[in-house]
Amino acid sequence: MFKIKIRSPEGPGDGHSQAFEPSWAILDSAIDSIYDGQVNTLSFELLYHTVYSMVLRKQGSELYSRLRKAIEEKLSKARNTIVSPDPKLLVSDFLRVWEKQCDCLRLVSDFTMYLDRVYCKENRVPFVYDLGLELFRDTIMFPLKREIHGLLIQQINNARLGEPHVDSEQLKEVFNLMETLRDGDDTYFVHEFEPFLIRETEGFYRDFAKKNTEDAVLYIQKIKAQLDTESNLNCQFLNKDTSAKILKVAEEIVIAENASFVVKDGLPQLLIEKDYPTLRLLFQLYHNPKDKSELHKQMSHCIIKEAMLIEEDNALKKKGQVAVKWTTKVMQLRKSFEEVFTKAGESGANSYNTISESFSTFLNQNGRKSAEYLAIYIDSFLRSSAIADNIDQMWLEDTVSMFKLLREKDAFEKVYKQQLSKRLLQQRSCLKTEKLVISKMKEEMGIAFTSKLEGMFKDILVSQGYKAKFEQSYSAPFDFEVNVLTPPCWPFQLTTLEPEVELPSTLERLKLDFENFYIRNHSGRSLRWAYHLGSMEIGFHFSKGYHEITMPVYAALIFMLFESHDELSADEISDLTKIPEHELIRHLLTISVAPKTRLLKKNPLNKTVLPTDRFQINYAFQAPTKKVKVLAVLPKTDTSVHQNTRIDESIQDLLKERRGCVDAAIVRALKSLKAASSKSLFARVEHDLSNRFTVTTTLFEESVERLVEREYIQRDVDDPSLCRYLP
C-alpha cells in the first residue's frame, strides 16, 4: 500500500493573510481610475491577483456586493449627466453614457475574471459584466424609459413620413443597446420596446389609412409606397423578427381593416380601365392568404356581375344566332379575365379556380339556358368548320372547359344530341372533329355520359359498311346513302306510328332489296324507315337552267309525282303518296309558297293549303346557284305555338329523364345500403348525379314517394325518415 501524502499547497498569494479592507481599497481606487480614464496606470496583474486572493480567502460574496455598490454609484452619477433639454442631444447623451459604461464595465470585469469563474458560477449569480448591465438597466434605462421611447418613435414616424434627416445609425445603436440589455427571459427590446413600437405603429397606420380613404386607386398606390418605405426603414435599424412583426401589423391595418372599400369600389373600376400595374400592385399587397381570398371573392363578384350584363341579343332573328352571340361573349369575357389575372401577375391555380367558379355560378344561375346556348354554339361552330380538317385546339379547350362548368349537363346533352344527330345524318360536319369533341367530353365526364353519343357514331360507321357491302351485290340506279340507326342512341321519337308511304317504283325496289339484304345479315332485327330524317337530291331542268335540288324525302316524293302528272290537287297528292296530312301540308308549303324554293306553282297562291288547291311544276324557277337546298318550313300559322310546345316538350322530357335518373339512383344506393335515412340517401344521390344535374329536394321526395308506391322501397314503421330496400 502506498501512502499518499499531500503537501499543503503553497499556491500563489498564499502566505499573506491579508484582511478584506486593504485589498478592497486597491480595487476601489482602481475602479475610480478606470472611470476616470486612467487605465494605463494600472497593473492588471496586481488587480487580478488581488481578486484571486480574495476569492481564495472566501471573501467572494463580500467582494461581489461591494463591486455592485461601486458600479451602482458610478451609474447614478452618470445618469445625472443625461439631462440635456434638447431631445436629440438627450439620445446621444444617453448613448455616450452607455458606451462609456460598457467600456468601463468590460475593464472591471476583466480583472474580476477569477471572481466570475469561481464565485459567480458556484453561486449562480450573474457575472460582473452582466451585473453591470442589469444595474444600467435599473438605474438608467428604466427611469428614462418614457423620454427615450417617445423620442425614438417620433424619429421613426418622421422617417415614415419621408423626412430625410433621420439618424438611422443612432436608432440602430439604441436598438442594439436594448437588445443587449436583458429583462426577464428576454431582451429589454423584446420585452419593453417592441410592444410599445407595435402599438405606436398601429396608431400611425390607422391615422394613415384614415387620411387616405378617398380614392381607391390612389390609396393602393399610397399604401404600397408607404409599406415599401416601411420595410426599407426597418431594414436599416430593426432586426428581421421585429421588422416582420411591424410589417404584418401595418399590413393588417391598411389592408385588412381599412381596405375593404378599395376592393369594393376600386376593383371594378380597375377592371374596367384594365389598369394592370395597379392590379398587380393590389395582388402584391394582398399576399397573405386571408386577404387574398377576400380579394378573390370580390373578383368573382365582379366577374359574375359583368357576366350578367351580357344580354341576349333578341334583335337577332334566329335563336341560334342569339345563342352563338351570347356564348361568344361569355367566352370572351372569360378570356379577358384570364388575361387580367395573368397581367396582374396572378396566374396560379387559385386564380384559375376563381374564374372557373365565378363562371360556373353565373352559368348555373340560368342553367338550362346556358347549357342550351353552349350546345347551339358548338353546333354552329362544327357546322361551319365542316370542311376544315384541323380543328382549332384552343377553341376546343375553351369550349370543353365551359362545358365542364355546367351543372345541368343533361340539358346540354339533350340539345347536343339532337344537333349531333342532325349533323351526322345531314353530313354537315367533319367526323374527325366531332369525335375529338366527344373524346374531350369523355375525358371530363366519363364514359357513361358519352356512350349514347358514341353509339351514334358507331351507327354511322357501320352503315357505311353496309352500304359498301350492299353495293357489291347490287347496282343501284342512283347514288344512295343508308344509315341504320339504333333507336335508343338517337334522340328521335321513332315512330311506330309512322305510316308507310307510297314510294316511286325505283325507290320501292331499292328499299325492299336493302331490307332483304339487311335481314339476311341480321335475322331477327326489324328495319323501319324514318323518311322524315332523310333527304333526296334531284336534278331538274327548269326553263332558266339546270338545278340540283336537295330536299326532304317527303318533298321529293311530292315533286317526283310530277314526272307523270302535269297538275295535281292536294287531295290527289295525298292519295298518291300517303304522306301524313300535316307533313304533306308542311312540305307543300315548303316547295310552293316559301319564296326561295318555289318549285311548284300553287293555285291559288296563298299561305294555306286546302285539299282542292292545285299544283304544277314551276318552270320559271330560278336560283343563283346550281345547287339548291330546300329546308322544310314550319307551318306559319302555328309557328309560335308550335315552338313553345316544342320547348315545353323538351323540358318535360328533361324532367321525365331526371325523375328516372333519381329513381334509379335511389334504388341503386338502397340496394347496396339496404337501409338509409332520407338525409344520407339524399346526399348520396346528389353526389351520384352531380355531374349530370343538381338534384332538388322536391325531385328527391317525389321520387321516394313514387318508389314507395311501386313497392321498390319501404319506409320504416318506427322511423319514417328511414328507407328500406324491398328485395
Partner 1 sequence: MSEITLVSKDGSELSLSREAADLSPVLRSMLSRPYLEEQQSKITLNEIKPDVLKKVVEYLEYCRQYRNAGEDEDIPEFEVPTEMSLELLLVADFLNI
- Assess contact for 307 and 246: CB atoms under 8 A: no
575 touches partner 1 (CB under 8 A): no
Give least dist CB 104 to partner 1, A. Answer: 11
Nearer to partner 1, 52 or 559 (CB): 52
Give least dist CB 54 to partner 1, A. Answer: 13
Cell digits of residue 379: 353546333
Among 3, 5, 9, 709, binds partner 1 (CB under 8 A): 9
Smallest CA-to-CA distance from 412 within 444, 386, 383 is with 444
Give least dist CB 180 to partner 1, A. Answer: 20
28 touches partner 1 (CB under 8 A): no
Give least dist CB 44 to partner 1, A. Answer: 4
Q: Count interface residues toward partner 1 (CB under 8 A).
A: 23
Nearer to partner 1, 17 or 505 (CB): 17
45 touches partner 1 (CB under 8 A): yes
Q: How far is CA 423 from CA 60, 76, 370, 385, in A?
A: 106, 100, 21, 12
How open is the CA angle 147-151-153, to the nearest 5 degrees? 120
Taking the C-alpha atoms of residue 613 and residue 593, their distance in angstroms, rounded to an integer, is 12
Q: Where are the alpha helices (DSSP H) in 346-496?
A: 349-365, 367-384, 393-405, 409-426, 431-445, 447-473
Q: CA neighbours within 13 Å on the CB side: how many for 322?
A: 12
Residues 407-436 touching partner 1, rule: CB under 8 A, are: none
Give least dist CB 107 to partner 1, A. Answer: 6
Among 2, 3, 4, 7, binds partner 1 (CB under 8 A): 7
Residues 103-162 touching partner 1, rule: CB under 8 A, are: 106-107, 110-111, 113-114, 117
Nearer to partner 1, 10 or 21 (CB): 10
12 touches partner 1 (CB under 8 A): yes
Amino acid symbol at 110: D
Residue 56, C-beta contacts closer than 8 angstroms, at least 6 positions apart: 11, 13, 14
**8-state DSSP, 633:** P
11 touches partner 1 (CB under 8 A): yes
660 touches partner 1 (CB under 8 A): no
480 touches partner 1 (CB under 8 A): no
Give least dist CB 23 to partner 1, A. Answer: 15
Piece of 45-53, 377-385, 450-458, 671-679 that binds partner 1 (CB under 8 A): 45-53
Residue 237, C-beta contacts closer than 8 angstroms, at least 6 positions apart: 168, 171, 172, 175
**8-state DSSP, 711:** T
Taking the C-alpha atoms of residue 28 and residue 6, their distance in angstroms, rounded to an integer, is 37
Nearer to partner 1, 111 or 712 (CB): 111
The helix (H) or strand (E) run that includes residue 675 is strand 675-677
Taking the C-alpha atoms of residue 521 and residue 463, their distance in angstroms, rounded to an integer, is 13
DSSP 462-502: HHHHHHHHHHHH---SS--------GGGS-----TT----P
Smallest CA-to-CA distance from 481 within 553, 575, 546 is with 553
552: three-class secondary structure by DSSP: strand
Taking the C-alpha atoms of residue 454 and residue 573, their distance in angstroms, rounded to an integer, is 40
Smallest CA-to-CA distance from 329 within 347, 315, 309, 344 is with 309
Nearer to partner 1, 7 or 317 (CB): 7
Residue 37 backbone class (left: φ over 0; alpha: ψ -120 to 50; beta: rest) = left
52 touches partner 1 (CB under 8 A): yes
Nearer to partner 1, 49 or 68 (CB): 49
Residues 234-273 touching partner 1, rule: CB under 8 A, are: none
636 touches partner 1 (CB under 8 A): no
- Assess contact for 237 and 193: CB atoms under 8 A: no
Nearer to partner 1, 39 or 633 (CB): 39
Cell digits of residue 204: 400611425
Among 2, 5, 17, 41, binds partner 1 (CB under 8 A): 41
Pairing of strands 567-569, 600-603: unpaired
Nearer to partner 1, 113 or 623 (CB): 113
39 touches partner 1 (CB under 8 A): yes
Taking the C-alpha atoms of residue 630 and residue 343, their distance in angstroms, rounded to an integer, is 50
Piece of 36-44, 176-184, 209-217, 288-296 that binds partner 1 (CB under 8 A): 36-44
Give least dist CB 21 to partner 1, A. Answer: 21
**8-state DSSP, 39:** G
How open is the CA angle 380-382-383, to the nearest 5 degrees? 65
Cell digits of residue 635: 307551318
Give least dist CB 46 to partner 1, A. Answer: 9
Give least dist CB 58 to partner 1, A. Answer: 15
Residues 53-112 touching partner 1, rule: CB under 8 A, are: 106-107, 110-111
- Assess contact for 414 and 650: CB atoms under 8 A: yes
Among 25, 32, 36, 43, binds partner 1 (CB under 8 A): 43
Piece of 3-11, 158-166, 306-314, 612-620 that binds partner 1 (CB under 8 A): 3-11
29 touches partner 1 (CB under 8 A): no
Cell digits of residue 725: 330496400
Give least dist CB 164 to partner 1, A. Answer: 39
Piece of 46-54, 343-351, 511-519, 578-586 that binds partner 1 (CB under 8 A): 46-54
Give least dist CB 14 to partner 1, A. Answer: 9
Among 26, 28, 49, 422, binds partner 1 (CB under 8 A): 49
Judged by the rule CB under 8 A, the positions of this chain that interact with partner 1 are: 7, 9-13, 39-45, 48-49, 52, 106-107, 110-111, 113-114, 117
